[in-house]
Structure 1
Amino acid sequence: MNNQIFSLQPFPSTESFPNLKITGNISRNANQLAIDYNLGGDLKEIAISSASNAPSRKYELWEDTCFEFFLGIKDSQRYWEFNLSPAGHWNVYRFDGYRQGMQEETAFEKLPFSVQNQTDALVLALDVDLDKIVSVNQAIEVGITTVIKHRDGEVTYWALTHQSAEADFHLRDGFIIEL
């Protein structure tokens, strides 16, 4: 099993919210991927969608507070974008190359994950079987990101690393965790 902890950094040119911290861990055991996000701090300033009674696949979740990760096969241009909303909604997109050939990944019919909304923290946990998209012997590279929408409408972009003059989660240089 490969387990790594992470801490996300806000994109430098956006207004910083020093009272927020996004940490977590990611692991791969055989082809089971587990990722946990912990958003800590003054959450009353963040626009967080309430949990839905009927979580479903939804589009453009990144327009609101959204936990994301990008998973690529090592030495391949193909990658996937996973979007997880605090309301329980989700989506997975497949790309053939950098922002090319975007399609909804139909290998996943549901993506159950848990969300715990506490006073000073929001914890999101996903455990997903990758067998539908990668084989157990393929090395993967992961970029972990989060979009935070503030109550005033401002959006900040968080990632393991920022490799461009603009916030761009699709750059493979940002897929720095190898599992």
Structure 2
Amino acid sequence: MNEQKFSLQPFKSGNLLPNVQITGNIARNDHQLTITYNLRGDLTEIIIASPSDTPTRKDELWQDTCFEFFVGLKDSQRYWEFNLSPAGHWNLYRFAGYRQGMQVETAFTFLPFSVEHQAEILTLNLDVDLAKIVPSEQAIDVAITTVVKQKNHQVSYWALAHTGAEADFHLRDSFFIRL
């Protein structure tokens, strides 16, 4: 098993909440990928969707607070974008190259994740079988990201690192974790 801890950094801007942290861990065991996000701080200032009784696949989840990660095949331009809402909604997109050929990935009909919301911490756990899209012996490169929308409607973009002049989660040189 390959496991790594992570800490996300906000893209530099003037609209950041003080004392907010996003940390977690990611692990891969054969074809199984597990990721945990911990959003800590004054969560009363962040818009966090309430849990849905009927979570579904939805577009544009990144318009609100949304946990995301990107999985790219080693030595390939192809990658997938996973979007996970605190409400339980989700989506998964496939790309042929940098922001090119975006399609809904139909290999998945749901993503198995849970959300626990307490006063000063929101935890999201996902355990997904990647065998539908990635052979178990195939090395992958991963970018871990989060969009945080505040109650004043300011938005901050969090990633392992920001390699571009603007916040851009799709830049392949920011897929830092190899699993």
Give the TM-score band, short-chain normalised.
over 0.9
C-alpha contact (below 8 Å) 1:14/1:156 kept by paired residues = no
**How far has the Cα of 1:15 moved from its partner?**
2.1
Identity between Structure 1 and Structure 2 (%): 68
Q: Summarize the alignment of residues 1-179 of structure 1 with structure 2, pairs less than 5 Å apart.
A: 1-179=1-179
C-alpha contact (below 8 Å) 1:71/1:141 kept by paired residues = yes
Q: Between Structure 1 and Structure 2, how many residues are aligned? A: 179
**How far has the Cα of 1:14 moved from its partner?**
4.3
Q: Which segments of 5 or more consecutive residues in structure 1 lack a partner in the other structure?
A: none
- Aligned-residue Cα RMSD (Å) equals 0.6
Structure 2 length-normalised TM? 0.99
C-alpha contact (below 8 Å) 1:115/1:123 kept by paired residues = yes
- Runs of 4+ aligned structure 1 residues displaced above 3 Å come to none
Tell me the distance in 2 between the aligned counterparts of 1:53 and 1:83. 18
Q: Which segments of 5 or more consecutive residues in structure 2 lack a partner in the other structure?
A: none
C-alpha contact (below 8 Å) 2:94/2:104 kept by paired residues = yes
C-alpha contact (below 8 Å) 2:47/2:149 kept by paired residues = yes
> Bigger shift: 60-69 or 10-19?
10-19
Tell me the distance in 2 between the aligned counterparts of 1:140 and 1:108. 18
Tell me the distance in 2 between the aligned counterparts of 1:100 and 1:145. 19
C-alpha contact (below 8 Å) 2:15/2:155 kept by paired residues = no
**How far has the Cα of 1:141 moved from its partner?**
0.2
Per-residue CA deviation, residues 82-137 of structure 1 (Å, 9 max, x unaligned), is 00000000000000000000000000001121000011000000000000000001
> Bigger shift: 118-127 or 16-25?
16-25
The one-letter code sitting in structure 1 at the alignment partner of 2:178 is E
